[in-house]
Structure 1
Amino acid sequence: MLGKKLVTAQKRGETRALCLGLGMVACSMMMYFFIGITIVPSYKRSVWTNESVCQLIKATIREKVHCSYNEGSDDENIFRYPCLEVQVNLTLLGQVVKLYHTEDTVDKNPKCFYIPPNMENYSKVEKLVKTITDNFRKHQTFSCYFDPSRKEESVILKRLYPPEGLSFAFVWPSLMLFGGLLIIIMVKISQYISVLSATQYRTSI
């Protein structure tokens, strides 16, 4: 009677472990799919792939620029923020070009270097933009990224998805996939040993 209960408990444990392993594998596949349709296309679309050194030429707050979250949105969703315009010397090529924060900045508002993430509080946004301006004036030489084909003349300060960032994005799903497969393999080995032991026991009897 006790033996049957132990066998039943063992089978339940193996079933739960197998479900956990399969669940981890399924989750890792979903994460791979999500990365494949979001991060990887953005990484491939970026033309700013070569790193160089930029030297500040000018960093000025020009004006308050209209910005809307969605095209055609109502006036309630339109905000103003200080527009920081930055010009730098791309030292590798000796060209004076406009600098943007990331690839998204070029697409969303090519007038300004930086688009604040939250524009509902104007005083905080203004303080943030002034702090960024002061940092540029303190550190006038810095790394930047440019398009080696020069089809895109502007440069960016930071890539949204650099190669190391893309590699890091695959770390967690890879670990989850490896862990899930390891659990499944261990369960299968355990089941095989149990069957083998039972077969040997019956043979000896």
Structure 2
Amino acid sequence: LEGNVSGRLGASSSAHARLAAEMNALDPARRKFLGDETPTPVQRGAGEQPALLDKPPMHPAPVYPRRLMAKTRVSYEYSEAEDKSIRLGLFLIVCGIVSLFILCFCWLSPTLQSMQSKPANCTVISVRRLEERFECVFTCGADCKGTSLYPCLQIFVNNSESNSIALLHYDEQQLVLNPKCSYVPKCERDNQKMREDVIRLQHYWSEEGSNQTFTCFFNPQRRPDDVLWQRSHDASVLLHCVLWPMVSLLVGTLIVLLTVCARSLAVRAEAIQKRKFS
């Protein structure tokens, strides 16, 4: 029995020795595949180039400016407060433009026409009240309207500039409303009240204003036979028509520019900080 055991042990040891010799004879790739991690030196000839695995380690790639810019890139998005301020500035700009067009259309043209009238010296020549009555429309509520009658008062004056007789009117509005009469009373339901108003004005110009010289205004190109006691619009109306829309435009533009400039400076400062710490 002992002889058989020793024979088998000898046979197994000789088999292990043969397997070890075969493993040593294998190339490094097969030995790595079979589990042997022990590296073996590679023999090269005189003209052979070194293998790829034997090259020295490469240095890290340099950081180019484009990559640096990508690292330091910051957001140009506006915050909620900045967005609201920009909207406010744009709203003021739009309001200024719209108001400028509206005021120029409604007030600037009549004001320029009124400014074309020249001042002159007028003297009252005669005052008379016509028997003819003119209609006017009064309002007494949201859906209540009616008509009344008022007498026509005419005041003739001597225009020193044209040296001619002209009909005096209170202002441009009454001239357009009724070119035949010098005064148009406020339209009311009571005709008698309007008649008393006209008679009171007639007595004033007949007694106190007779032969009295005062400053009047006339436009020789448009209405040479009519003069105005006062202008409806003056230079202050023209100033307000241009001033307030321009103020709105200027304030809105300043708000937008300051908000954009502040955001641009903040973005540049943030980019500089990122460059310093990158």
- Alignment of structure 1 residues 1-205 onto 2, 5 Å: 11-43=79-111, 49-63=117-131, 65-69=133-137, 77-122=146-191, 124-130=193-199, 132-133=201-202, 136=205, 138=208, 140-149=212-221, 152-205=224-277
**5+ long unaligned stretches in structure 1:** 1-9, 70-75
Alpha-carbon separation, structure 2, partners of 1:204 and 1:123: 91
Q: Report runs of 4+ in structure 1 exceeding 6 Å deviation.
A: none
Alpha-carbon separation, structure 2, partners of 1:184 and 1:13: 12
Structure 2: which amino acid aligns with 1:13? A
Alpha-carbon separation, structure 2, partners of 1:40 and 1:186: 32
> For 1:50-69, what per-residue CA distance to the aligned partner results, in whole angstroms no more than 9, with x for missing partners?
11121222334434622244
User: TM-score by structure 1 length?
Assistant: 0.76
More moved, 24-33 vs 153-162: 153-162
CA displacement at 1:43 relative to structure 2: 4.0
> For 1:160-200, what per-residue CA distance to the aligned partner results, in whole angstroms no more than 9, with x for missing partners?
33344223322221221222122222212221222122222
Bigger CA radius of gyration: 2
CA displacement at 1:150 relative to structure 2: 7.2
Judged with a 3 Å threshold, the aligned counterparts in structure 2 of structure 1 residues 118 and 194 are, in CA distance, closer, same or farther, namely farther
SS of 1:152's partner is strand
CA displacement at 1:133 relative to structure 2: 4.2
Alpha-carbon separation, structure 1, partners of 2:204 and 2:268: 70
More moved, 95-104 vs 47-56: 47-56
Structure 2 contact 134–152 (Cα < 8 Å) conserved: no
Structure 2: which amino acid aligns with 1:30? V
Structure 2 contact 148–190 (Cα < 8 Å) conserved: no
CA displacement at 1:47 relative to structure 2: 8.9
SS of 1:113's partner is coil
Q: Identity over aligned residues, as a percent?
A: 23
Q: Looking at both structures, which has the greater relative contact order when contacts are Cα pairs under 8 Å and sequence separation is at least 6?
A: 1
**5+ long unaligned stretches in structure 2:** 1-77, 138-144
User: Number of residues paired by the alignment?
Assistant: 191
Structure 1 contact 89–95 (Cα < 8 Å) conserved: yes
CA RMSD in angstroms, aligned pairs only:
2.9
Structure 1 contact 89–96 (Cα < 8 Å) conserved: yes
SS of 1:154's partner is strand
Task: Indicate the residue corresponding to 1:6 in structure 2.
Answer: none
> For 1:82-122, what per-residue CA distance to the aligned partner results, in whole angstroms no more than 9, with x for missing partners?
32211111122322210112223233212211223443344
